[in-house]
Amino acid sequence: MISNKKALEMIDVIADMFPNAECELVHDNAFELTIAVLLSAQTTDISVNKLTKNLFQKYKTPEDYLKVDISDLENDLRTIGLYRNKAKNIKKLCQSLIDQFDGKIPETHKELESLAGVGRKTANVVMSVAFGEPSLAVDTHVERVSKRLGICRWKDNVRQVEDKICTVVPRERWNKTHHQLIFFGRYHCLARSPKCDVCPLFEDCREGQKRYKASLKEA
Ligand code: SF4
C-alpha cells in the first residue's frame, strides 16, 4: 500500500480532474434521494433516473407507496434489476417512516440503517447529499479505484476502504471526494477499459503499470 501522503496527492489529482462532481441521481428531497439510492443497487444511475422521472410524479409521499398493491409497484419498477426485492423494501421502508419517524427521513446513521433496504452505503449517501453531514460512501467505483491505485489493499472490505479514505482525506472534503472518486471510476478508470494511456496517475498506479507490462508481453 502507498503512504497516506501519496494517497492524498493522488486524490488531489482526481479532484482536479472532476472539480464539479456531484450526485447524479435526480431528486428533489431526502425522501426521493433515499428511494433513488435504494433503487440504484446493481443498476446504473441513468436507468434509475429514467425510472424515477415518472415514479416521483406518481408517488410523492410514503403514504402514496403504501396505497398501491405490491404488484402495481413491482410493475412500476420492472425496468431495473432486483425490482421485486426493491418494491418490497420500499413498502417496508415507507411503513417504518410513518410508524416511527413521522413520515420523514431520519437524520442519523443509526436510524437510517434501521430502514429496509438501507445499508451503510445508502445511509452515508443520504447523510452526505441530503443533510450535508460529512460521510464517505463506498460504492463499486470508489472501491475499485482506491484498490487499483494502491490506496487500499485488494483484500480490504468496503468498511476498511471507507476508513482508509477517511483517514487520508480531511473530513471537510469527504462529501466531495466521494463524488470525485465515483466520477473518476465512472468516466475515466472504467471497470473494463480504464483510460491508462491518458491517465495522469499512470506512473504511480500499480494497476496501470501491470496492464502496461502485460500489453508489452502480448505485443
Ligand atoms: Fe485507472 Fe489506469 Fe489510471 Fe490506474 S493508470 S488509475 S488503472 S486509468
Active site residues: 121, 139
DSSP string covering 172-193 = GGHHHHHHHHHHHHHHTS-SSS
Q: What percent of the chain has pLDDT over 90?
A: 97
pLDDT band, residue 219 (cuts 50/70/90): confident
Between CA 154 and CA 93 the distance in angstroms is 34
Q: Which of 196, 197, 198, 209 to mutate to test the pocket of ligand 1 (most atoms within 8 A of CB)?
A: 196
Whole-angstrom distance, CA of residue 188 vs CA of residue 127: 26
Q: Which residue among 207, 210, 212 has the greatest number of ligand 1 atoms within 8 angstroms of its CB, and so is best to mutate? A: 207
Q: pLDDT by residue (tens digit) across 155-207?
A: 999 999 999 999 999 999 999 999 999 999 999 999 999 999 999 999 999 99
Q: Whose CA is nearest to atom 7 of ligand 1?
A: 208
- Name the residue type at position 97: L
Q: Find where cell 485488494 sits.
A: 154
pLDDT grade for 28, boundaries at 50, 70 and 90: very high
pLDDT for position 107:
96
Q: Is 196 annotated in some ligand binding site?
A: yes
- Which residues does ligand 1 sit against, CB inside 6 Å? 148-149, 188-189, 194-196, 199, 201-202, 205, 207-208
User: What is d(CA 32, CA 25) in angstroms, rounded to the nearest whole number?
Assistant: 9
Ordered domains of the chain (ranges, CATH) = 4-21+137-218 (1.10.1670.10), 30-130 (1.10.340.30)
Whether residue 184 contacts residue 18, with contact meaning beta carbons closer than 8 Å, is answered with yes
Confidence of residue 132 (pLDDT cuts 50, 70, 90): very high
Q: Cβ neighbours of residue 55 under 8 Å, at least 6 residues apart?
A: 35, 76, 77
The per-residue pLDDT for range 148-161, each reduced to its tens digit, is 999 999 999 999 99
Residue partners of 11: CB distance under 8 A and separation at least 6: 151, 165, 168, 169, 177, 180, 181
Q: What is the pTM of this model?
A: 0.92
Looking up cell 464517505, which residue turns up? Answer: 136
Q: Ligand 1: distance of its center to the CA of 183 in Å?
A: 13
The reply to whether 152 sits in an annotated binding site is no
DSSP for 59-121?
--SHHHHHHS-HHHHHHHHTTSTTHHHHHHHHHHHHHHHHHHSTTS--SSHHHHHTSTT--HH
Annotated binding residue at 94?
no
Measured distance CA(138)–CA(143) in Å, rounded: 6
Q: Count CB atoms within 10 A of the CB of residue 162.
A: 24
Report CA-CA distances (Å) from 159 to 43, 117, 139: 21, 18, 11
